[in-house]
RNA sequence: GGGUGCGUAGCUCAGUUGGUUCAGAGCAUCUGGUUUACACCCAGAAGGUCAGGGGUUCGAAUCCCUUCGCACCCA
């Protein structure tokens, strides 16, 4: 075996081995199912740090479940990402000098599919290099035929239930992508802007009224001036009319206490078509609505001589015109927040348009109850419950339509000059319905399907159901077997628009929760605390990382500092640590493997004892690890395994049983250490699947039914507490010996003698271990202090190591005095507690007993130290 | 502006019901060590006003109030 582990070869080899033998594959059987559905990454996406973290956690959970004997099923897939994909295709067309509108819808969709097949889904292959044990035969895509059908069916159903309606609403319009965005797809950014003060003439009076606005170009759409009814400055203007400058239109002065008297001039221009609040006031006062923009945010005919020009150009030009005409009073610097499209970065234009909405209130209730009342669904960490609650209690209707082509086309068919519509799966069905509804003699030609598609989330909210075809065939065998799923692993940033909605869909369509536990990972940030993103360019290349540190190493590195829900400041050093751990495990095996076995030699006492100790230690750690897993404390589970293997197994156990250089090992010890090592591999497998499988097969040749990935999780053995206590006492003794060796420059290879006053009556079996680990030639039990020695104490036991040459009595005295000082101070604080009547009366018995024990221990130890001091 | 969360060692973070082992872990640092499985190593050490202030309690990193700082979500 070589000195260092070579992961590259092993990782490729074992992933293929797992694939070939179908270990990832799941078919329903008599075992209990353990299902995880992947949060479908964007089909256009490539693997980044967030995916790596998220999918590593899922793989850990699914591999552990597999070892625990569940029928583990991890369903992979991607979503079609309407906006992102369409943007890519549009960009590609643009590069070819074409526009989307040069193509028919069908032609465009062909291009999009072409694009998807060529570039899409790469991320799934990338997940394989991470070791993801998904059942790849189940890979789903939100535009697969059955998935498509599920979405359409759901739309029709919700429409028939009256939950989907059509509304003329203010939406976030992305003028570049020419589509509506959800609130979640808009990023607000602070921008340096200007506040323009503009005068409007009052009709019939020789007076002007001044308004402040950040958007003078919207003046073309003004339909009122609003004042606060309590504002005495403007009382005389009630019922008057104002003249819109340049345009010359006459608009009413209205009153509404929405207006903040303090802000700006206390006067507001109302542009209902282009501002949400203005729309609200407009509705209240029955104002006219004038839309001044085209779809690309150039001005339309209402913009008069600016028709066809961009909104920002018009802002400048129109301001100049106002200035020249004497309407502009002043301009002030002003910081405000501007909404930008997450995808195109274009400034969002609030726009009124026809959209489809889903009523959320009734759907939200069961979702709220499931998490907060019945606790059917658990959130890890639970701190997100507040956020979840807040959002669902203040939920707004969901705008589910998008002005795009790539996606599920809304199954609404218009007729009668678009004045009426019916909702149906096919045009034929729609025709039937339309005829019934209208009584008209229509043909298919009279029907026009809605151009828009549904929000991508409207397909992914069905994901846990639809991947098992549970919408189309609610009683199919697979769906009944795998659903509800077990865990969902995702980021808190999509708690609302994905997780909560899946829960709603779950209860609406299956009467069941879609999953039991939600594990929310943190965001991956760089060392500076910035979120890792493509746009910042601070995300390391995922595949390069794997190449450099091995998949196992990267998995460990990511998990080491990723407590659930807490952001993870990513540092490559963590991957190095992960890789180093792999190397450690490899070398542990290399050592064991190098031993020559001799069945004639007796098992040494220290080996027997140490093996028994590790068995108990393992059982104890296993319990701890299980506890961490049960609370989704994955990084703690890993750290517990890490310490067990590195510290307890390698640093203690192997060092104890290691035969002298080039000496053989007894067969009994050898066979037991192999068993124990195999158990280590089992608990490490979920975290580091590759190296563990590799070593598992190096231990001995195994057939395909004996692979580690499908072996059994170690079962709990009894923990011998006395053994653990005795060992930890002994390790303290060994530590002290090492300290003294270091202080006195006694190299480890030089044996020394040790004498002990065994006041604690410790188990003498451990002497063999102390002797081996301390390189003690002679261990003697004595009754009193030995001259010319240096001493140390563990509890009330006193140990003496003879030293050549003069003993520094002063130094020894100083050391003892310091110990005494500390102990007396400690005793004093314990005494103080115990003499406090209120403590003794109020504290639980157990706590008081502990304090009494501390007192007794301290007193005994003080006696020992005092005696030593006297004898000096 | 409204909401939520956070502040513990140089760094990243645990600390579960207020009570033992409560002030911890890993990394980094420092000291010593290598013909020996691993320098991707071994052994050891140092490092803290638990953000500041106040309160409740026999007892507070933990509960309450407040100030400061940070992050996220919503408008």
Structure confidence by residue, pLDDT tens digits, A137-162: 999 999 999 999 999 999 999 999 99
SS3 category, A24: coil
Closest residue (CA to C1') to nucleotide B32 in the complex: A742
- CA–CA distances in Å: residue A808 to residues A692, A739, A801, A866, A871: 52, 16, 14, 18, 14
pLDDT at site A538: 67
- Across A309-318, A345-354, A725-734, least confident range: A345-354
- Bridge-partner residues for A33, per DSSP? A71
Residue A4 CA and nucleotide B31 C1' are separated, in Å, by 28
Distance in angstroms (rounded) separating the CA atoms of residues A467 and A515: 14
Residue A527 CA and nucleotide B62 C1' are separated, in Å, by 29
* CB-strand contact A531/B, under 7 Å: yes
Domain containing residue A300: CATH number: 3.90.740.10
**Higher per-residue pLDDT: A231 or A183:** A231
A701 known ligand binder = no
Residue A523 CA and nucleotide B73 C1' are separated, in Å, by 14
Q: Do A778 and A696 lie in a common domain? A: no
Distance in angstroms (rounded) separating the CA atoms of residues A313 and A320: 11
* CB-strand contact A40/B, under 7 Å: no
* CB-strand contact A659/B, under 7 Å: no
In a domain? residue A537: no
Total tally of structural domains belonging to chain A? 3
Exposure string (b/e) for A261-286, b if CB count within 10 Å is 16 or more?
beebbbbbbbbbbbbeebbebbeebe
SS (HEC) of A341-375: ECCCCCECEEEEEEEEEECCHHHHHHHHHHHHCCC
In a domain? residue A829: yes
In a domain? residue A398: no
- Across A362-371, A534-543, A698-707, least confident range: A534-543
Q: Do A603 and A703 lie in a common domain? A: yes
Q: Do A760 and A691 lie in a common domain? A: no
Residue A491 CA and nucleotide B12 C1' are separated, in Å, by 20
pLDDT at site A261: 72
Q: Do A646 and A557 lie in a common domain? A: yes
Distance in angstroms (rounded) separating the CA atoms of residues A705 and A709: 10
Residue A711 CA and nucleotide B26 C1' are separated, in Å, by 30
User: Which of A350, A371, A405 lies at the terminal end of a domain, its last residue?
Assistant: A350
Structure confidence by residue, pLDDT tens digits, A831-872: 878 877 788 887 777 788 888 888 888 888 888 888 888 877
In a domain? residue A257: yes
CA nearest to A771, candidates A779, A759, A782, A763: A779
Specify the nucleotide whose C1' lies closest to residue A773 (CA): B43
Q: Do A274 and A337 lie in a common domain? A: yes
Residue A383 CA and nucleotide B69 C1' are separated, in Å, by 22
Is A37:A482 a contact under the CB 8 Å cutoff? no
* CB-strand contact A391/B, under 7 Å: yes
- CA–CA distances in Å: residue A516 to residues A439, A488, A512, A739: 49, 8, 10, 51
* CB-strand contact A700/B, under 7 Å: no
Q: Do A790 and A704 lie in a common domain? A: no
Cβ neighbourhood burial of A517 (10 Å; 0-12, 13-18, 19+): middle
Cβ neighbourhood burial of A27 (10 Å; 0-12, 13-18, 19+): exposed
Q: Do A643 and A571 lie in a common domain? A: yes
CA nearest to A174, candidates A291, A341, A399, A293: A341
Strands A71-75 and A33-37: parallel
pLDDT band for A24, please (50, 70, 90 cuts).
very high
pLDDT band for A190, please (50, 70, 90 cuts).
low
Is A558:A574 a contact under the CB 8 Å cutoff? yes
Is pLDDT of A188 > 80? no
Specify the nucleotide whose C1' lies closest to residue A578 (CA): B40
Q: Do A687 and A792 lie in a common domain? A: no
pLDDT at site A330: 87
SS3 category, A519: strand
What phi and psi values does residue A69 have, to the nearest 5 degrees?
90, 5
Q: Do A555 and A637 lie in a common domain? A: yes
CA nearest to A489, candidates A123, A49, A61: A61
What phi and psi values does residue A376 have, to the nearest 5 degrees?
-65, -35
Distance in angstroms (rounded) separating the CA atoms of residues A774 and A755: 13
In a domain? residue A328: yes
Six-digit token string for A261: 């008297």
* CB-strand contact A739/B, under 7 Å: yes
Residue A626 CA and nucleotide B62 C1' are separated, in Å, by 25
* CB-strand contact A357/B, under 7 Å: no
Domain containing residue A838: CATH number: 1.10.287.380
pLDDT at site A871: 75
pLDDT at site A866: 84
pLDDT at site A815: 78
pLDDT at site A674: 96
Is pLDDT of A189 > 80? no
pLDDT at site A345: 79
In a domain? residue A205: yes
pLDDT cut 70: percent of chain A above it: 97
In a domain? residue A72: no
pLDDT at site A516: 94
**Higher per-residue pLDDT: A193 or A114:** A114
Domain containing residue A643: CATH number: 1.10.730.10
Distance in angstroms (rounded) separating the CA atoms of residues A227 and A225: 7
pLDDT at site A563: 66
* CB-strand contact A184/B, under 7 Å: yes
Mean of pLDDT values over A20-35: 97
- Across A230-239, A370-379, A602-611, least confident range: A230-239
Rounded to 5°, the CA angle A418-A424-A428 comes to 85
Q: For the CA atoms of chain A, what is the radius of gyration?
A: 37
Structure confidence by residue, pLDDT tens digits, A556-581: 988 887 766 677 777 788 888 899 99
Residue A188 CA and nucleotide B48 C1' are separated, in Å, by 40
CA nearest to A534, candidates A348, A342, A406, A347: A342
Is A471:A153 a contact under the CB 8 Å cutoff? yes
Q: Do A548 and A675 lie in a common domain? A: yes
Does the complex come out with an ipTM higher than 0.90? yes
User: Which of A350, A376, A403 lies at the terminal end of a domain, its last residue?
Assistant: A350
CA nearest to A270, candidates A870, A285, A369: A285
Is A831:A855 a contact under the CB 8 Å cutoff? yes
Q: Which of residues 825-864 of A touch strand B (CB under 7 A)?
A: 833, 836, 838-839, 842-844, 847, 850, 854
Nucleotides of B under 7 A from a protein CB: 3-6, 11-14, 16, 19-21, 25-28, 32-33, 36-45, 57-59, 71-75
Distance in angstroms (rounded) separating the CA atoms of residues A152 and A462: 11
Is pLDDT of A531 > 70? no
* CB-strand contact A529/B, under 7 Å: yes
Residue A520 CA and nucleotide B46 C1' are separated, in Å, by 37
Q: Quote the strand ranges of A698-847, DSSP E.
A: 752-757, 776-781, 789-794, 797-802
* CB-strand contact A588/B, under 7 Å: yes
In a domain? residue A621: yes
Structure confidence by residue, pLDDT tens digits, A380-428: 888 888 888 888 888 888 889 988 899 999 999 999 888 899 999 999 9
Strands A250-255 and A328-341: unpaired
Structure confidence by residue, pLDDT tens digits, A761-794: 888 889 999 999 999 989 999 998 888 888 888 8
- CA–CA distances in Å: residue A45 to residues A42, A133, A333: 5, 20, 40
End-to-end CA distance of chain A: 55
Six-digit token string for A177: 């992508």
Q: What is the dihedral of CA A426, A432, A436, A441, to 10 degrees?
A: 120
pLDDT cut 90: percent of chain A above it: 47
Mean of pLDDT values over A540-569: 83
Q: What is the dihedral of CA A212, A218, A224, A226, to 10 degrees?
A: -30
**Higher per-residue pLDDT: A175 or A72:** A72
Is pLDDT of A276 > 90? no
Q: Do A686 and A566 lie in a common domain? A: yes
Exposure string (b/e) for A615-648, b if CB count within 10 Å is 16 or more?
bbbbbbbbebbbebbeebbbbbbbbbbbebbeeb
Average pLDDT, chain A: 88
- Across A27-31, A238-242, A304-308, A602-606, least confident range: A238-242
Is pLDDT of A654 > 80? yes
Is pLDDT of A499 > 80? yes
Is pLDDT of A537 > 70? no
pLDDT band for A806, please (50, 70, 90 cuts).
low
pLDDT at site A285: 85
User: Which of A316, A350, A384 lies at the terminal end of a domain, its last residue?
Assistant: A350
Six-digit token string for A295: 């779809």
Contacts of A713 (CB under 8 A, 6+ apart): A64, A67, A68, A69, A682, A683
pLDDT at site A364: 92
* CB-strand contact A643/B, under 7 Å: yes
Q: What is the dihedral of CA A462, A467, A468, A474, to 10 degrees?
A: 30
Q: Which of residues 336-355 of A touch strand B (CB under 7 A)?
A: 337
CA nearest to A858, candidates A813, A804, A820, A814: A820
Range of the domain at A579: 542-719
Query: Is residue A381 reached through a cis peptide bond, with omega within 30 degrees of 0 on the bond before it?
Result: yes
* CB-strand contact A477/B, under 7 Å: no
Is pLDDT of A346 > 60? yes
Is A865:A815 a contact under the CB 8 Å cutoff? no
Q: Do A700 and A769 lie in a common domain? A: no
Structure confidence by residue, pLDDT tens digits, A611-648: 999 999 999 999 989 988 988 888 889 989 999 999 99
- Determine which helix (DSSP H) or strand (DSSP E) holds A832, and give its type and residue range: helix A809-835
Length, in residues, of chain A: 872
pLDDT band for A534, please (50, 70, 90 cuts).
low
Cβ neighbourhood burial of A705 (10 Å; 0-12, 13-18, 19+): exposed
Distance in angstroms (rounded) separating the CA atoms of residues A682 and A709: 8
Mean of pLDDT values over A97-118: 91
């Amino acid at each position: 075996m070589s000195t260092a582990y070579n992961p590259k070869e092993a990782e490729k080899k074992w992933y293929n081995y797992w694939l070939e033998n179908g270990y990832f594959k799941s078919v329903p059987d008599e075992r209990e199912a353990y299902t995880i559905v992947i949060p479908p990454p964007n089909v256009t996406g490539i693997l980044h740090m967030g995916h790596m973290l998220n999918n590593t956690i899922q793989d850990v959970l699914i591999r552990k479940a597999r070892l625990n004997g569940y029928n583990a099923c991890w369903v992979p897939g991607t979503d079609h990402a309407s906006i992102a994909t369409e943007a890519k295709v549009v960009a590609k067309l643009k590069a070819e000098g074409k526009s989307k509108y040069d193509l028919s819808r069908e032609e465009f969709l062909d291009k999009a599919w072409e694009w998807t097949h060529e570039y899409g889904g790469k991320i799934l292959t990338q997940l394989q290099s991470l070791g993801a044990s998904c059942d790849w035969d189940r890979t789903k895509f939100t535009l697969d035929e059955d998935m498509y059908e599920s979405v359409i069916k759901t739309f029709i159903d919700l429409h028939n239930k009256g939950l989907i309606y059509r509304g003329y609403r203010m939406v976030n319009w992305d003028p570049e992508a020419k589509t509506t965005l959800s609130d979640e797809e808009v990023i607000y950014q602070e921008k340096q802007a200007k506040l323009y003060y503009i005068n409007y003439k009052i009709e019939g009076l020789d007076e002007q009224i001044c308004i402040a606005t950040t958007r003078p170009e919207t003046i073309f759409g003004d339909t009122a001036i609003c004042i606060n009814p309590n504002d005495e400055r403007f009382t005389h203007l009630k019922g008057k009319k104002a003249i819109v400058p340049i345009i010359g239109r006459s608009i009413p002065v209205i009153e509404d206490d929405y207006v903040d008297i303090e802000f700006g001039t206390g006067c507001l221009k109302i542009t209902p078509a282009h501002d949400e609040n203005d729309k609200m006031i407009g509705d209240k006062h029955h104002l006219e609505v004038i839309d001044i923009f085209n779809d690309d945010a150039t001005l339309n005919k209402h913009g008069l001589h600016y028709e066809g020009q961009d909104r920002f150009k018009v802002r400048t030009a129109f301001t100049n015109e106002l200035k020249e005409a004497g309407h502009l009073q002043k301009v002030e610097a002003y910081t405000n927040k501007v909404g930008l499209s997450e995808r195109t970065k274009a400034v969002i234009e609030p726009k009124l348009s026809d959209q489809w909405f889903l009523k959320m209130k009734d759907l939200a209730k069961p979702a709220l109850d499931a998490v907060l009342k019945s606790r059917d669904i658990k959130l890890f960490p639970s701190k997100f419950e507040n956020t979840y609650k807040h959002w669902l209690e203040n939920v707004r209707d969901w705008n589910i339509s998008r002005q795009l082509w790539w996606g599920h086309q809304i199954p609404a068919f218009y007729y009668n000059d678009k004045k009426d519509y019916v909702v149906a799966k096919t045009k034929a069905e729609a025709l039937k319905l339309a005829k019934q509804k209208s009584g008209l003699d229509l043909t298919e030609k009279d029907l026009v399907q809605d151009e828009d598609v549904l929000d991508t989330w409207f397909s992914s909210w069905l994901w846990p159901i639809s991947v098992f075809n549970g919408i189309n065939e609610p009683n199919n065998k697979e769906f009944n077997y795998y659903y509800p799923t077990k865990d969902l692993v995702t980021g808190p940033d999509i708690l609302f628009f994905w997780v909560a909605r899946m829960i709603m869909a779950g209860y609406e369509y299956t009467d069941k929760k879609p999953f039991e536990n939600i594990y929310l990972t943190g965001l991956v940030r760089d060392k500076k605390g910035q979120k890792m993103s493509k746009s910042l360019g601070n995300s390391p290349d995922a595949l390069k990382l794997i190449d450099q540190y091995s998949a196992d190493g990267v998995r460990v590195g990511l998990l080491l500092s990723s407590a659930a829900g807490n952001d993870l400041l990513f540092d490559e050093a963590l991957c190095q640590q992960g890789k180093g751990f792999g190397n450690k495990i490899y070398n542990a095996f290399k050592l064991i493997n190098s031993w020559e076995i001799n069945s004639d030699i007796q098992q040494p006492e220290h080996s027997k004892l140490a093996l028994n100790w590790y068995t108990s230690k393992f059982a104890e750690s296993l319990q701890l690890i299980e506890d961490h897993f049960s609370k989704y404390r994955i990084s703690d589970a890993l750290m517990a395994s890490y310490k067990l293997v590195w510290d307890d197994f390698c640093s203690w156990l192997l060092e104890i049983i290691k035969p002298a250089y080039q000496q053989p090992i007894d067969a009994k010890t050898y066979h037991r250490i192999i068993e124990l090592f195999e158990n280590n591999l089992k608990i490490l497998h979920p975290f580091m699947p590759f190296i563990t499988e590799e070593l598992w097969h190096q231990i001995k040749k195994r057939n395909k039914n004996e692979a580690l990935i499908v072996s059994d999780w170690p079962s709990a053995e009894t923990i011998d507490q006395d053994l653990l206590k005795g060992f930890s006492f002994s390790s303290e003794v060994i530590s002290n010996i090492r300290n003294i060796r270091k202080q006195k420059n006694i190299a480890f290879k030089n044996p020394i003698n040790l004498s002990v006053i065994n006041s604690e009556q410790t188990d003498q079996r451990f002497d063999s271990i102390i002797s081996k680990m301390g390189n003690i030639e002679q261990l003697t039990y004595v009754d009193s202090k030995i001259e010319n020695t240096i001493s140390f104490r563990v509890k009330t036991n006193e140990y003496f190591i003879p030293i050549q040459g003069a003993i520094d009595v002063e130094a020894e005295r100083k050391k003892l005095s310091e110990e005494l000082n500390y102990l007396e101070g400690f005793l004093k604080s314990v005494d103080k507690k115990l003499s406090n009547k209120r403590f003794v009366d109020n504290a639980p018995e157990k706590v008081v007993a502990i304090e009494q024990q501390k007192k007794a221990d301290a007193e005994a130890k003080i006696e020992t130290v005092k005696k030593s001091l006297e004898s000096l």
